[in-house]
Homo-oligomer: A and B are copies of this chain.
Amino acid sequence: MSEVGRRAGVSATTVSFVVNGQDKGITPATQQRVQDAINELGFRPNRTAQGLRTRRTQTIGFVTDEIAVMPPAGQTVAGAHDVAWAHRSLLLIVNTTRSPRIMRAAIDDLIDRRVDAIMVAVVGTRRISLPTDIRQVPCVLVNCYAAGNDFPCVLPDETEGGRAATQILLDAGHRRIAFLTGLPGAWATRARIKGHRMALTAAGIPPGSAVLRAGNFKADSGYALARELLTLSGPSRPTAFLCGNDRMAMGAYLALAEAGVRVPEEISVVGYDDQIDLAPEIHPALTSIRLPFYEMGHWAATQLFAGAIQQLPPRTYIQCRAVLRDSVGPPAAGAS
């Protein structure tokens, strides 16, 4: 840097000013000379040194429970990355494999590295607990929430999602909708069931009469549940399947295909998550409710850069948008 200064006939200070574009009143002429010297020498500022001096590393720590189980985590990373990049920042990522020990160590490590902020993201929505020393740095939670709600977090609005999914079917004219749920205990499952009931009630259908079957988010549970429901006949037979996620919907598709039941002519199907590549590619393309992973990552990073995480509400919900494709149609003529 002082070398650049020497070449331009100025001091390192001046070089610093023009590098950082600070209009400390440097003559355009000097600015040009410095710029030239920079180009000729191919000078690039050392970000490590800048970080040490300014106490801002332009780095944000991204702690996640299981990277490997992307897509979700990947989308969240992408959302956060994009806003970070726009702020000349980058993501330093740690994969805790759900080990609290690694989580602790990761937080400490990130603090030692003087990251400007930390994001904690998990793949399946759940409550987490954080080491106390994370308070040394701004922190926001993605797809999870802290024990005492003492960190701002962003979550998918699953209740609204469950309602929207049901509404799609209701709008198409269905009255007997079977909900093949995900894992019963899961936060997402409970919220979606709640939304489902709200939609039913609003449509004048007693939620008590709803057909609910518990699955586990895996394709084979969708397959098994669909087969079971297909044995029902007459007015108790559902005209539509609402699935706990797209994998379960795929399982249902297979059961339906095997049974020679056509989608959506005879039975409509709606998935959830919209996280698998398959959804739009499969025949018929699967209508689904998209989990806003990218948006959550984006939102969280945006808040961090806005530097206003203090006045954030404990929880922020992001809408789960319906992605309408071809797996929903009117109920078959003659169905109850």
Contacts and interface: CB of A to CB of B under 8 A. Distances in A.
Interface of A: 44-49, 51-52, 57, 59, 67-71, 73-75, 77-78, 81-82, 85, 88, 90-95, 102, 108-109, 111-114, 218-220, 223, 247, 250-251, 253-254, 257-258, 260, 276-278, 281-283, 294
B282 A59 contact: no
A259 B116 CA distance: 58
Nearest to A114: B48
- Dominant SS among interface residues on chain A: helix
Contacts of A52: 46, 48-49, 52
B254 A108 contact: no
Given A92-B91, A250-B250, A282 B74 contact: no
B68 A282 contact: no
A219 B246 CA distance: 14
A215 to B, nearest CB: 11
A112 B69 contact: no
Given A93-B81, A254-B253, A257-B254, A46 B282 contact: no
A74 B219 CA distance: 22
A219 B73 contact: no
Given A78-B95, A276-B278, A112 B44 contact: yes
A54 B281 CA distance: 51
Given A74-B74, A223-B283, A254-B283, 12 more contacts: A44-B108, A47-B109, A48-B48, A48-B52, A48-B57, A59-B92, A67-B81, A69-B74, A70-B75, A220-B283, A223-B282, A247-B281
A78 B70 CA distance: 10
